[in-house]
Structure 1
Amino acid sequence: MTATATTTTATGATPTATVTEAVTETFAELYGAGPDGVWAAPGRVNLIGEYTDFNDGFVMPLALPHTAVAAVARRDDGVLRLHSADVDGGVVQLRVDELAPLSDGGWAAYPAGVVWALREAGHRVPGADLHLTSSVPTGAGLSSSAALEVVTALALDDLYALGLSRPELARIAQRAENDFVGVPCGIMDQTASACAVEGHVLHLDCRSLSIRQVPFDLAAHGLSLLVVDTRVKHALGDGAYAARRAGCEEGARVLGVSHLRDVPYADLDEALGRLEDETVRRYVRHIVSDDHRVVRIARLLTEGDVRAVGPLLTEGHASLREDLRVSCDELDLVVESAVAAGALGARMTGGGFGGSAIVLVESSAADEVTRSVEAAFAARGFAPPRVFPAVPSRGAHRVA
């Protein structure tokens, strides 16, 4: 979906009353009656733990104050009607019993895929009318698609009293993206959108799917976390995810483990010595060390030593740049210019080859660091980046 202006409060992922009123009014104009309710689900940014999810490892995302918002009403006639305020075109009308995976590559595949996944799991969803809008930036690696899936899943769960837990909603949303849309994502994005708690990061074990909410009250420590959207996506990223996944699987096979999560950090050097392929060796080094960084950062946050997280972010970026090789000039420039201007640490976040970076700064220095990054981009002839604070926000919830 096309990004719109931010429509959330400064402290949590709840749409303003104006946004709620607008989606309700538009819904009534489209469908001739008001919705049964309005729901919101946030995008996310990942603090640490990149490419570790499909290795059964650890990740640590937080919800953004940017949300997908859905006004929804029940139907019992097998009809699914979908409309987006952010995409040109009218209402998309489908029949729930004719939904088929990989049949439509457009935006409507995301909410339609959720309906399909719920029905495939045996849940009664006889139809619905939906009107959607989103303030989650698209193409920035901030999980705009997961927000769209989760808000749809939550609304239908509420309306049809399906009784699903938040982790179950996340799995339904992931199946929609994997099997219906055809994107082989891990479980992190949907879990963060469904399960995040305001003022916390979500420490997720991607093997057991156990969740621990870790306090991340930056304001109390005089700190800010900035998201720097480079606004670029390089074609080099096409196919990179699959290639790195295959390399990690090969590394696990040679090392005799089911997933790289099973390689202890203390044994990393010995494990690397058993790998002959240099590319596989680099991938293994990144995954095992990034899993270890997640554990270290979780410990630091639990102890309240938030500033000590900064150098680990920068260390993680070096690993992504040198070992996984998924960075790019724009992302490297964010990290270099931010740290040079006094940031505590910075790293690319998400799949790489463009998208966004995060920067941990003293709040008093946020404007200066932002100006330094913008000046560095201008000096290199890059398009101006988009910079905004990542306030740890609440997960999906009913608004009205």
Structure 2
Amino acid sequence: MIHAGGGAAVAELAVDPEVRITAHVFERAYGSAPAGVWRAPGGLTLLGGDPALAVALPWGVMVALGATDDGSAAFYSTSHHAEGFSAGCGELPSALASGAVPEWALTAVNALIAHDQPGRTRPVTRASGMRVMINRELPDEMGLLTGAETACAIELGLRELYAAEARPYDPTPSYAAAMEARPKRALLVADTIEHLPFDLAAVGLRLLIMDVGVGTAVPVHPAGDLAERAASALRAGNFPALGALLTEAHSRGEPLLDLALDAARAAGALGGLVIGRCGVALVPMAAVPKIRAAVTRRLAGEARRPPRFLTAVPAAHKAARAL
């Protein structure tokens, strides 16, 4: 049975096998079916700062929610299946303050607590009495999912289950992308959001994500005026200029990722930089096989395993619930 959202988005979400998997794991963990499954895309901040340039990824987080009768809260993740976390009625704030909440559950716990704050116009007094199942569609080791997508998916669920009010506008790029993204668009995020033309498929381009197996995320440095310059390039349809700006924003220092990006550019990429623990390059679709082969050859003997690749075009936020 399908409810809410926008017709096509709901239908697409309903047939996604990950929805069924998420609901099934919820039922196995908690002994009953969830009230629904909500999804939010991950946000990829191409250029940080104020403003920032971001896009939504085709992958994000699915969250299954179900109410508890006694006000207790329980959390489970398909990525941390041996580390379930639970708290009694009203105990989430104290568990958070004491450091008892595992890192993987922090975003979800904070999201529930935020919706129970008495300062809200419509506090959701039962929100913290929930069972939560988190299914992240990208491995944590890639460093691309920030937690904003988890908070957004939970917010969508609470809005529908309890008519919860929307949280105030958050200028964080990953949150804006998760909640406001449109297909074929990038977002220029500041005090407001501007949707910019970014139809990569129409011009034969893709974002190539290169996971080379580095152990820690590379620090992100503010990109100065690069996001505004990139926005001007997108308004003009100048994708080579965007690629050059991505390269200009790249901070060298992680040898494997530097090698991967250098090899990608030499094989035809328009430009790229490090995001999370991955290299992200703007590439012609026709050159993807050549670029992948070049990066794999360059890292042979340097990396602990062969690189893994994903290709992406900007996705859209889908405010949909599936049962």
* CA distance in structure 1 between the partners assigned to 2:45 and 2:83 by the alignment: 34
Kept in 1: contact 2:38–2:156 (CA 8 A): yes
Alignment of 1:32-43 (within 5 A): 32-43=31-42
Give the corresponding residue for 1:58. Answer: 51
* 1:109 to 2:106 alignment: yes
* CA distance in structure 2 between the partners assigned to 1:139 and 1:26 by the alignment: 22
RMSD: 2.4
Structure 1 or 2: larger helix share? Answer: 1
* 1:81 to 2:82 alignment: no
Kept in 1: contact 2:78–2:135 (CA 8 A): yes
Give the corresponding residue for 2:187. Answer: 202
* CA distance in structure 2 between the partners assigned to 1:16 and 1:76 by the alignment: 30
**CA offset digits 1:127-180 (Å, max 9, x no partner):** 112222111221323125222222122211221101316xx3x74xxxxxxxxx
Alignment of 1:23-38 (within 5 A): 23-38=22-37
Kept in 1: contact 2:256–2:303 (CA 8 A): no
Kept in 2: contact 1:125–1:156 (CA 8 A): no
Give the corresponding residue for 1:372. Answer: 294
Identity of paired residues, percent?
A: 29
Kept in 2: contact 1:37–1:399 (CA 8 A): yes
Give the corresponding residue for 1:229. Answer: 211
Give structure 2 stretches of 5+ with no counterpart: 1-11
Residues 372/71 of structure 1: CA separation in 2 closer, same or farther (3 Å cut)? same
Q: Name which of 218, 228, 232 aligns with 1:295.
A: 228
Per-residue deviation, 1:89: 2.4
Residues 291/125 of structure 1: CA separation in 2 closer, same or farther (3 Å cut)? farther
Kept in 2: contact 1:341–1:369 (CA 8 A): yes
* CA distance in structure 2 between the partners assigned to 1:19 and 1:293 by the alignment: 37
* CA distance in structure 2 between the partners assigned to 1:64 and 1:294 by the alignment: 18
Q: Name which of 144, 147, 152 aligns with 1:145.
A: 147
Give the corresponding residue for 1:257. Answer: none
Alignment of 1:328-339 (within 5 A): 328-339=254-265
Kept in 2: contact 1:74–1:128 (CA 8 A): yes
Per-residue deviation, 1:367: 1.0
Report the number of matched residues.
302
TM-score normalised per structure 2: 0.84
Partner SS for 1:27: helix
Kept in 1: contact 2:213–2:304 (CA 8 A): no
Over 4 Å off, 4+ runs: 13-16
* CA distance in structure 1 between the partners assigned to 2:237 and 2:202 by the alignment: 10
Kept in 2: contact 1:75–1:129 (CA 8 A): yes
* CA distance in structure 1 between the partners assigned to 2:244 and 2:105 by the alignment: 41
* 1:312 to 2:245 alignment: yes
Give the corresponding residue for 1:217. Answer: 199
Per-residue deviation, 1:64: 0.9
Q: Name which of 279, 282, 290 aligns with 1:357.
A: 279
**CA offset digits 1:340-373 (Å, max 9, x no partner):** 11111111124xxxx0111111110011011101
Residues 340/134 of structure 1: CA separation in 2 closer, same or farther (3 Å cut)? same
Q: Which amino acid aligns with 2:230?
A: I
TM-score normalised per structure 1: 0.69
**CA offset digits 1:156-211 (Å, max 9, x no partner):** 1221101316xx3x74xxxxxxxxxxxxxx82222222222222111101xx2x11
